[in-house]
Amino acid sequence: MLETAKEILHRIYDVKWLIQAGGIPMITGIVFAETGLMVGFFLPGDSLLVTAGIFAAAGYLELGLLLVVVTIAGIVGDQTGYWFGRKTGPALFKREDSLLFKKHHVQRAHDFYEKYGSKTIVIARFLPMIRTFAPIVAGIAQMNYRKFVFYNIAGGILWVFSMVLGGYFLGSAIPNIDKRIHWVIAAVIVLSFVPVVLELIKANKKRFALVKE
């Protein structure tokens, strides 16, 4: 059982294998799950999209189709999260932690939403874990639906296009980069967590300043 779970996790984070095995349908499904299903917070969004762009540059994936289909999946995913949050509401904050649900993820997204408001829907696209829960929190907060749709579409396009095209241009500029894909994935993972770390440092400084006062 444990070995099976380890193998599944290994496959999930092996983005090169995911793309080779499932192509655009697999990428689309993962992007939707990460943005639309509460249990998808652990899925590899940024690294998957950048790697998909590199594969598109190498001719393994059709760039135009990749951009359109995956962008739609990201937008529909956030819509799903929004309506889930709107229907479940405060019950989520009372729910007990489980293997696939951690209350602090929702709380963290809620605090982020309180700080940045509507812009959170765009900013959160670039923050692992927060992008899964931000639309849910927007639904809980009863964010104006038209406003949510606007920011959702803008954020979805910006996130998918920047990640995929970033990988595509990287793949076009550096010969045989697909042979060193693990280095690219490691760099993307590190960079994707930089904004989160900076935010935590900033929050700790504020708390320290308040304690001193």
Q: Provide the residue-wise pLDDT of the chain in tens; the chain has 213 residues.
A: 444 434 444 455 577 788 888 899 999 999 998 888 877 666 777 888 988 998 898 888 999 999 999 999 999 999 999 998 888 876 766 667 665 566 676 777 777 777 777 788 888 888 878 888 888 888 888 888 899 999 999 999 999 999 999 989 888 887 766 666 666 666 666 666 666 556 556 655 655 554 455
| Residues 6 or more apart in contact with residue 134 via CB below 8 angstroms | 78, 81, 109, 112, 113, 120, 121, 124
Please return the burial class of 186, using the count of CB atoms within 10 Å of its CB with bins 0-12, 13-18 and 19+. exposed
CA 95 to chain CA centroid, nearest Å: 23
How many other CB atoms are found less than 10 A from the CB of residue 150? 14
DSSP 3-state assignment of 83?
Answer: helix
Report d(CA 40, CA 168) in Å as an integer. 25
Please return the burial class of 9, using the count of CB atoms within 10 Å of its CB with bins 0-12, 13-18 and 19+. exposed
Report d(CA 94, CA 97) in Å as an integer. 9
Phi, psi of 58 (to 5 degrees): -85, -5
